[in-house]
């Protein structure tokens, strides 16, 4: 018997485990042979505290100070660029990301690859590359100090017991009073195993291509670039560029791979904003994020680091539930999108609102109708 069982060895499970390790013994169970096998090792590895839906921003802002102190962040400005036709999306996203407008010429001085058609540019320097491997390993070490991580063990059954939960994985039983569901896109499957109603998570694929830098430029010190059209972003990556079509393609939870046509469309959109062609793809991959009603309605409790607090009356409310002194449960899944949590003796639950949840649009309409940054998951 341990104090906490965590299902999922991505960044959400590992971070929850590392922080819970100071409250008791943790067993983390991961289905794959390696930690971070899915989205947590496939991201663009950029930390943009002002990116995403409201709760995502709150969580990112809250974690920035600790990441800086841990030395896992390296400055990487982010530049938003757009053509005259993209002025509307540009204005919205520049405001969302709290960016400072700069002249197109200043943008081209920083990134000589930018096309002469770029007529709008804005920059923020409150953004960083994040060493995701260092983050995952540091969290894993904190768990292993007094607990254990079991890999290659898919959770097959979850039962309620007199003292909490029994989780069966890889042929072994694990018991704990507190169970944390950090299974990312699989979190609804885990909930169902535990006899808890799924919240309606939708797994969304995002693809990535690694390309040689067009025009043969040295891109190491370039900012990350985000297209105001919403259908591409690019970031320097060890002498190359990674370019994502920014798609949100709904799929059943799985080990995702990139779709050639989507990659081609994303690269074409990127290329249309540059003055040299894309010539060489070095590698590609894809991962799954997820969203559901959590995209807009699950929010963490306030933290001392959140400058904005949670006072936005337009957002659906969480209902605080008074509980005993013991932490009753924490649910983190889908990485940046879905966070539940606790604040001392108060745990937080969503007001049921499944009726208001609507399925995602088709991948193509989602990509072509410029999802605002405030509604994107990464
Ligand atoms: C292409 C791409 C680019 C991205 N770029 C960024 C970025 O630059 N910055 C950023 O902040 N975010 C980015 N993201 C999002 C970020 O990667 C995710 O939000 C985050 O990794 C999700 O972490 P997680 O732990 O919730 O999920 P996952 O990493 O999916 O972890 C869930 C884990 O649960 C395990 N699991 C599932 N079912 C079971 C079971 N039955 N038993 C045991 N284990 C189970 C899975 O094997 C998996 O390892 C990006 C995502 C993608 C795909």
* Domain boundaries of the chain, sorted by first residue: 4-44+132-200+294-345, 74-129+202-290+360-375
Distance 288 CA to ligand 1 centre (A): 7
For ligand 1, whether the C-beta of 335 sits within 6 Å is: yes
Which DSSP string do the residues of 264-292 spell out, in sequence order? HHHHHHHHTTBSS----EEEEEEEEEEES
Q: What pLDDT was estimated at residue 302?
A: 37
Q: What pLDDT was estimated at residue 328?
A: 29
For ligand 1, whether the C-beta of 182 sits within 6 Å is: yes
Distance 185 CA to ligand 1 centre (A): 8
For ligand 1, whether the C-beta of 208 sits within 6 Å is: yes
Spatial CB neighbours of 255, under 8 Å, sequence gap ≥ 6: 37, 38
For ligand 1, whether the C-beta of 155 sits within 6 Å is: yes
For ligand 1, whether the C-beta of 254 sits within 6 Å is: no
Distance 334 CA to ligand 1 centre (A): 6
19, 60, 184, 224: residue to mutate for ligand 1 pocket, most atoms within 8 A of CB: 184
Q: What pLDDT was estimated at residue 54?
A: 79
Mean pLDDT in consecutive groups of 10 residues from the start of the chain, 378 residues = 98 97 98 97 95 85 95 98 97 94 98 98 97 97 98 98 97 98 97 95 95 97 96 97 95 95 97 97 94 47 30 28 29 28 27 31 35 57
Nearest to 29 by CA among 165, 192, 130, 134: 165
Q: What pLDDT was estimated at residue 373?
A: 61
For ligand 1, whether the C-beta of 242 sits within 6 Å is: no
Distance 181 CA to ligand 1 centre (A): 13
Distance 31 CA to ligand 1 centre (A): 13
Q: What pLDDT was estimated at residue 347?
A: 29
Q: What pLDDT was estimated at residue 375?
A: 62
For ligand 1, whether the C-beta of 57 sits within 6 Å is: no
**Cα dihedral sign, 362-356-51-256:** negative
Hey, do 4-44+132-200+294-345 and 74-129+202-290+360-375 end up sharing a CATH topology, with the first three levels equal?
no
d(CA 230, CA 28): 36
Distance 248 CA to ligand 1 centre (A): 14
Atom of ligand 1 nearest to the CA of 332: 26
Distance 364 CA to ligand 1 centre (A): 23
Nearest alpha carbon, ligand 1 atom 18: 335
In CATH, 4-44+132-200+294-345 is 1.10.1040.10: no
Is residue 61 within 8 Å of residue 47, measured between CB atoms? no
Query: Which structure tokens are listed for 322?
Result: 């008074």
| CATH architecture for segment(s) 74-129+202-290+360-375 | 2-Layer Sandwich (3.30)
Nearest to 40 by CA among 369, 287, 377: 287
d(CA 336, CA 65): 17
Atom of ligand 1 nearest to the CA of 156: 41
The length of the chain in residues reads 378
């Amino acid at each position: 018997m341990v104090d906490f069982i965590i299902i999922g060895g991505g960044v959400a499970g590992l971070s929850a485990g590392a922080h819970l390790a100071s409250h008791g013994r943790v067993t983390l169970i991961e289905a794959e042979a390696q930690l971070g096998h899915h989205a947590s090792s496939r991201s663009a590895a950029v930390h943009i505290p002002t990116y995403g839906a409201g709760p995502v921003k709150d969580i990112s802002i809250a974690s920035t100070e600790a990441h800086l102190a841990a030395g896992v962040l390296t400055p990487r400005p982010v530049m938003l660029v757009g053509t005259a036709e993209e002025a509307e999306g540009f204005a919205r996203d520049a405001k969302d990301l709290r960016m400072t407008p700069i002249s197109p010429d200043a943008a081209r001085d920083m990134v000589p690859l930018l096309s002469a058609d770029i007529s709008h540019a804005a920059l923020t320097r409150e953004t960083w590359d994040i060493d995701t491997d260092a983050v995952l390993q540091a969290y894993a070490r904190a768990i292993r100090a007094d607990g254990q991580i079991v890999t290659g063990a898919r959770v097959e059954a979850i039962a309620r017991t007199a003292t909490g939960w029994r989780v069966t994985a890889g042929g072994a039983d694990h018991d704990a009073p507190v169970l944390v569901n950090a299974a990312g896109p699989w979190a609804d499957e885990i909930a169902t195993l535990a006899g808890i109603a799924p919240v309606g998570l939708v797994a969304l694929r995002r693809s990535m291509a690694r390309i040689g830098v067009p025009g043969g430029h040295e891109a190491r010190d370039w900012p990350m670039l985000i297209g105001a059209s919403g259908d591409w972003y690019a970031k320097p990556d060890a002498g190359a560029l990674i370019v994502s079509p920014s798609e949100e393609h709904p799929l059943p939870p799985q080990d995702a791979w990139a779709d050639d046509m989507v990659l081609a469309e994303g690269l074409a959109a990127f290329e249309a904003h540059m003055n040299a062609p894309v010539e060489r793809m070095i590698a590609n991959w894809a991962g799954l994020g997820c969203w559901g009603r959590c995209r807009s309605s699950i929010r963490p409790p306030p933290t001392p680091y959140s400058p904005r607090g949670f006072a936005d009356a337009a957002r659906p409310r969480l209902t605080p539930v008074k509980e005993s002194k013991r932490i009753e449960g924490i649910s983190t899944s889908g990485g940046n999108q879905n966070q539940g949590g606790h604040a001392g003796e108060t745990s937080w639950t969503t007001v049921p609102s499944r009726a208001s949840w609507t399925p995602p649009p088709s991948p193509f309409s989602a990509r072509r109708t410029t999802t605002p940054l405030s509604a994107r998951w990464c």
